[in-house]
Structure 1
């Protein structure tokens, strides 16, 4: 899939939406197929963008405040632009909020055009003068130094040796990677790279990289390496992954919002959920970290692993630790 046909990053979509209303205002009654061709997206993507515009507009967000449009078959016309064609005048508070947002965007890995963000920031700061010149330092959550180091390696085209903790397998490995790009997903920074150990493209969360060393060699990304489509998120469930079934109480219903579930059924006060997981080792630690309102219904192998781990933990609490002994020695290894 080419970038023109299917790229759906947040930055790309924001730029497209900002251009979409002026484009349609200048071409009333244009066919959706023609507009999609001009904008370099599929007809489905354009229709989804138009659906999003229905809920965009001015504060108040009532029927007279939102962008409106009319459809005539496969043709579309903007009937109310919510003032998007008027010159923008910001209050001091709005200007300061925009400056803070742009500073945050400039610090975000994977921004499509960082120079454009910095130019826009410079213009607003120049126009706002002392009103927006507040000494506000914006930093992303997490290890900012690590993110900067990774971003510098990506921009410099250098290979990296990293020590990485894989939570799904509860193991730490050392590997050499050839970075492709930095990106953000769910407020977390990732480096996408060709992993020489796995011989495939992999995503590495910045906060799980325990150590990183820039090597004295350029990144050697093979021709077959391609960035992954992350428009639906980092984790994409597939039929070949293990399917687990859990019965959850009211206090654990957040699972259905945080994780992609294949099915959710009500069972009185409790819910039954089906979801795909990377492997049963991850699922075991996931279930053990939840409260007592969660019961594993399937597969039986997972239920047995959770039960064995819980029994081992209780036995460890019951085992006395002699004076001078290593407390860790009393904990059964999993």
Structure 2
């Protein structure tokens, strides 16, 4: 992590935690104004912003990461960020996370330097007071139980599994901020760390899906039996699956666009012709892909899937038509 002289890594982390809410509250900010506000220089703020490209919510798919308008930053020296609204919401811990935090703080307080011990002890006291002797007070810290312990849809899913019946669910995908109705054949429930997943065949998507139970907003057991009563649940504990419905996108990147590999999680990359590279990304939003390609143009080509490429071509032509309608000469 690159910092300016006298600026430590903890300093940069603290600044980043304050920088994003500061920018979200203002919509857009001049780079020099942000530097003055945080008592640093513009080059350091720009390094901070480029680091934001690699941060976001789990599972870290491209649509989950914070977006920074690099064109505005490099051209007009104006900062615009997007896809970071979740930072305005209260932090929520699972019981396991809260317990781990308390244990870690108790361990740290013994070896901490004198100037840090007081802060750790005050934080530890607040956590323990909120948790209470038996942990029931954790809700005062916005701590939510794990889906296995609290989700109202779990009994519905368990009943459907026992009866071999289909389920109609309403599922929320944060990376697209969308809710969708799904008809699924449930095959099993699997606990992976602190999350519970429903393994199912999704008739809506016509494919296997692993749904995070805490993102299932409602579930209704139907009278219709599952299509394949003998289907067995998959092993979801190996870390190979994603919890959102994703599509594999293949991009061909020219050298000026190779920064994508540094900022986004690619699942595979291969050498392409004339110094290019071909990369695969798992994405949950076609709109996000179109936005990325418009930023990368003309240094990136969408190779697959074909219907994404067709949609992007149509969107690019529509954008050009807007400029032509306004009398802008693009030649």
Larger helix proportion of the pair: 2
TM-score (norm 1): 0.38
TM-score (norm 2): 0.38
Larger radius of gyration: 1
Q: RCO higher in 1 or 2 (8 Å CA, sep ≥ 6)?
A: 2
